[in-house]
Each structure stands twice: as C-alpha cells, then as structure tokens.
C-alpha cells in the first residue's frame, strides 16, 4: 500500500525528472515535479507537500551546492513539517551531511538505485507522520540505527549498511547466537555492543573477550574459570568470562584464533549452557547469549581442518557481514562527521569543522584500516588543528596516488585519472568537471559509477 502523502521533486535535469516520475508515480498519492527552483515557494503555498526530493546543484546557477542549502532553509522556513531528502552526487556527500545537521532528513546519491531511492522517500514520509509532522532532522536519517561511535547512534546511508542494520534490528531481540564477520577495523565490537543494547538482555552484563590477545595456554582458564591449585600459579579461585556473562551477552572477538582443543569445550558450553571450571567437578549452569566475531574466513579454516565444522555452524546461525568502507563510501562522510562531533567535545574545540578539501581527501582514500583508521585520522586532525580542518592535516600516506608500475596505462586508467583530476579541480562538482571534460553530466555520473568514484 502506497503512502498517502505528496512528493515534490526539484531537479534542473528534465530527463531526471521524467525518469523519477515514472519510478515514483505509484508510490505517493500525488507527485509534483519542478525544474526551476524559482517556482518552489509558490508551489508550496498552493499545495501541502509532505516530502521534497531536492537537488543540491542547479546547472544554471552556482555549482557549489550552496543553492541547494539555500532552498532547504527556505522550505523549512515555510513549513518545518516537510521532510527534505537531498539528491546529490558522490562529490557532494560532505555537503549533504552538513545539510542534514541543518534539517534535511536524508540524502540519496546519483546515479540512484531505484529500490533504495523509493525506500528512503517512503521512510522519510513515515517518520514525518510518526513524529506528528515534525521535521525529523539528523536524528532520524535512517529507519535503522547504525554502529554507534559513542552510545548515540549515527545513521548510515549506503544500501549495504542499511541492509545490514535492518538484519541487526530483526535479530537483536531474538536471543540467538550471532557471528559477525568483517575486516579489521570495521566495527565488529561496536556492533556487538549495539546488538546487546537492543536485546532483551540489555540490563545484563556485556562481557568482551579478545581471543587474539590471550595466550593459548590460558584461554580455557579465561573462559571457563578455575579452582585454586588447578595449575601452577592458580593461587585462588577464578570466575571465568562465561560465568561473568550470566544474564547478559558474551562477545568473543577474533574467534578464529581459538585453538582446536578449546573449540570442542566451547561448543559444549554453548549447546548446554553449562560450564565446568578447570580443576573442579562442579557443573555450573550459565544463561548467556553468544556473539562471536572474526576477520578470518571460517569456512576456509574448516576446509583446512583448523576450525571445527560443528562449532562453525553453531556460531553462524545468524551470519552478519560488515562491509569494508571502500565498498560503502557513502558512509565515510557521515562517520567522519560523527567522529568530529565526538572529538571536538572531548578536546574542547567546538568551533572546528571540516574544509571541503579535507572531506574530499577523506572520501577518496580507500581506508584499508576501515572505521578504526578513519577514527584515528579525525582524532589526530582535531588534536593538531586550531582552525578549519583542511586536507593538509591528512597524513601524506593518505593521499591517493594511481599506481605507477612502469607499464603502459590502459584507456580506462587514463579516463579515470582525468575524471579524478577534474573532480578535484572543481571541488567534487560533477557539472563543472563534465564541462571541462566536454561530456554530459549523466555521462560523468555513469563513469564515476563505473570506476567506483
């Protein structure tokens, strides 16, 4: 059943308007399209509009995105109940994030994904209704909250991250075993804590154990506890981490490092919810939920005989894959802004903000260290900066350089390099870059998608 509201789309490209009209006509009761922003306010005075899809740039005017911000402010001044969703290209993501702080509900990247765009617009309308027609603002960017940088969640905008968080919301209250997989630094620990805080066990303890930091000879004592005299240096009784998690969640990070001989004991504990401390015959019942995480390919370890198949299938009852930042670069600016807010508060530098060139450098870098590396980069910039945070505050190694291996470059490499340089020259503005390259704006959108820009 489609929403009952009215959607207004403002974009200077008539082909884009025609495509969107075909896509969204059945999604709202009424659809209004405008290609001239000068008609916007008069249209809003004549019609009660619930959601506006607003382009950040207009070809006939200034191409910095500032005009989109201007019309965002005018819309909200006219009617603060309107949910404004920004329509922007990749290079404007940093500006879009700032716009959300000023009242925008969400943003969608061009070229758009049909299903994703439809979902964002419908979600914006539902949130507007649920809030009693109050403008949702930054606190409600997404239907699904994200991995928190602090206890306050930051919303993701990429389709992959939204899909992941939709699954998280479904399984968090279910009290089932969950396996989190992803590269180092993707936020597995933060996501595990988030799941705990959304579970029925949120009032219980959250016990985290990093298996990679424990000596193999001490793992069973650490997990299951021991009695005095169980082994050399066991001078007192010790309560294991499993028992400490009673009533709450046990999070075993880097589970792939668990030795084979300990995997059988862990499997038995997970299946029976009973634990026997080392040096004791006493069996203790423990009610806990298990979340495990790894940056290893456990299926491959199973094939190699390095991980028990029965434990693997027990753990992956629910398998949540956290994508690396290079595969969801729409989220980088949102996360960076969240870290900026966190560290400006921590270091008492409330006036600091990102310059556009810093955001562009952040967006172009592939972030092999993922969220952890991004966090450290922003923290370092905040510490070293006394004014606006510019690209000069990025470490030299984070300046992306196309590979130079002495081999002849392909046409694709030359084309990609030309597009990157044009975007850099014009601050990420696709229209100006397209004009310099003598191609259409739609062509540069398609090329950016092709090359992952």
pLDDT digits (tens, 9 = 90+) for 141-174: 333 333 333 333 446 778 888 889 889 989 999 8
Q: 């400006």: which residue's tokens?
A: 344
Q: Which residue has the higher pLDDT, 441 or 191?
A: 191
* List of residues 6+ apart from 155 with CB closer than 8 A: 138, 140, 141, 142, 144, 145, 146, 334
For the domain made up of 325-398, the CATH class stated in words is: mainly alpha
pLDDT value at residue 293 = 96
With H, G, I as helix, E, B as strand and everything else as coil, classify residue 294. strand
For domain 411-450, the CATH superfamily is: Homeodomain-like (1.10.10.60)
Nearest 10 degrees: Cα torsion 43, 46, 49, 52 = 10
159-321 maps to which CATH number?
Answer: 3.40.50.300
With H, G, I as helix, E, B as strand and everything else as coil, classify residue 278. strand
Q: How far apart are CA 255 and CA 76, in angstroms?
A: 49
Rounded to the nearest integer, the mean pLDDT of the chain is: 81
With H, G, I as helix, E, B as strand and everything else as coil, classify residue 375. helix
Please tell me the number of Cα atoms within 13 Å of 282 on its side-chain side. 12
- Whether the link from the prior residue into 176 is cis, omega within 30° of 0, is no
Residue 422, φ and ψ in degrees, nearest 5? -65, -40
Q: Output the six-digit token pair for 3.
A: 């929403």
Q: Is the pLDDT of residue 127 over 90?
A: no
pLDDT value at residue 94 = 65
- Residue 9 pLDDT grade (very low, low, confident, very high; cuts 50, 70, 90): very high
Q: Is the pLDDT of residue 67 over 80?
A: no
174 DSSP 8-state letter: G
pLDDT value at residue 327 = 86
Helices (H), 182-329: 188-197, 219-224, 241-244, 260-272, 298-303, 309-315
| Strand partners of residue 54 | 10, 86
Q: How far apart are CA 93 and CA 363, in angstroms?
A: 9
450 DSSP 8-state letter: H
pLDDT digits (tens, 9 = 90+) for 13-60: 888 899 999 999 888 989 999 988 889 999 999 988 999 999 887 654
Rounded to two decimals, the pTM is 0.60
Q: Which residue has the higher pLDDT, 280 or 14?
A: 14
CA angle 70, 76, 81 (to 5 degrees): 155
Please tell me the number of Cα atoms within 13 Å of 353 on its side-chain side. 8
- Own/partner long-range contacts of 233-236 (Cβ < 8 Å, ≥24 apart): 234/278, 234/279
Q: How far apart are CA 83 and CA 286, in angstroms?
A: 48
pLDDT digits (tens, 9 = 90+) for 241-268: 999 999 999 999 999 999 998 999 999 9
C-beta atoms surrounding 19 within 10 Å = 14
Indicate the domain borders of the chain.
6-140, 159-321, 325-398, 411-450
Q: Are 159-321 and 325-398 in the same CATH fold? A: no
441 DSSP 8-state letter: H
The alpha carbon of 411 is separated from its chain's Cα centroid by a whole number of angstroms, namely: 33
The strands making up 83-89's β-sheet, listed across from edge to edge, are 30-34, 6-10, 51-55, 83-89, 106-110
Measured in residues, the chain has a length of 453
Q: How far apart are CA 3 and CA 133, in angstroms?
A: 14
pLDDT value at residue 252 = 96
171 DSSP 8-state letter: H
- Tell me the CATH architecture of domain 6-140: 3-Layer(aba) Sandwich (3.40)
Q: Which residue has the higher pLDDT, 445 or 291?
A: 291
């Amino acid at each position: 059943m489609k929403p009952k509201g009215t959607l207004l789309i403002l974009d200077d490209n008539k082909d884009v308007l025609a495509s969107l009209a075909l896509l969204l006509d059945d999604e709202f009761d009424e659809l209004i399209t405008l290609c001239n922003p000068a008609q916007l306010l008069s249209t809003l005075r004549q019609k009660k509009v619930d959601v506006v899809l607003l382009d950040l740039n207009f070809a006939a005017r200034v191409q910095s995105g500032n005009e989109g911000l201007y019309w965002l402010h005018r819309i909200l001044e006219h009617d603060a109940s309107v949910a404004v969703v920004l329509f922007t290209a990749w290079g404007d993501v940093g500006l879009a994030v700032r716009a959300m702080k000023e009242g925008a509900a969400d943003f969608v990247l061009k070229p758009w994904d049909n299903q994703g765009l439809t979902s964002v617009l419908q979600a914006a309308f539902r949130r507007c209704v649920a809030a009693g027609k109050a403008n949702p603002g930054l606190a409600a960017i997404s239907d699904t909250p994200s991995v928190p940088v602090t206890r306050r969640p930051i919303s993701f905008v990429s389709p992959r991250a939204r899909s992941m968080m939709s699954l998280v919301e479904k399984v968090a209250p279910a009290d089932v075993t969950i396996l989190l997989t992803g590269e180092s630094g993707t936020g597995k620990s933060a996501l595990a804590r988030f799941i705990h805080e959304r579970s029925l066990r949120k009032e219980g303890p959250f016990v985290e154990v990093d298996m990679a930091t424990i000596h193999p000879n001490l793992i069973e004592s650490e997990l299951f506890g021991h009695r005095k005299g169980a082994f050399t240096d066991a001078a007192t009784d010790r309560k294991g981490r499993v028992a400490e998690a009673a009533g709450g969640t046990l999070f075993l990070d880097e589970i792939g490092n668990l030795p084979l001989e300990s995997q059988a004991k862990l499997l038995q504990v997970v299946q029976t919810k009973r634990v026997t401390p080392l040096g004791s015959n006493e069996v203790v019942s423990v009610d806990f939920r298990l979340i495990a995480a790894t940056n290893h390919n456990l299926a491959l370890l199973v094939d190699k005989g390095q991980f028990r198949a029965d434990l693997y299938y027990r753990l992956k009852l629910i398998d949540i894959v956290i994508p690396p930042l290079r595969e969801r670069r729409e989220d980088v600016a949102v996360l960076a802004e969240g870290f900026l807010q966190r560290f400006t508060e921590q270091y008492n530098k409330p006036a600091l903000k990102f310059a556009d060139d810093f955001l562009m450098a952040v967006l172009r870098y592939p972030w092999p260290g993922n969220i952890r590396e991004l966090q450290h980069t922003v923290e370092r910039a905040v510490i070293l900066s006394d004014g606006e945070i510019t690209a000069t505050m990025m470490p030299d190694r984070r300046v992306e350089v196309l590979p130079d291996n002495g081999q002849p470059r392909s046409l694709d490499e030359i084309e990609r390099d030309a597009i990157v340089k044009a975007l850099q020259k014009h601050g990420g503005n696709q229209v100006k870059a397209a004009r310099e390259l003598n191609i259409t704006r739609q062509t540069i959108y398609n090329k950016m998608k092709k090359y992952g820009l």
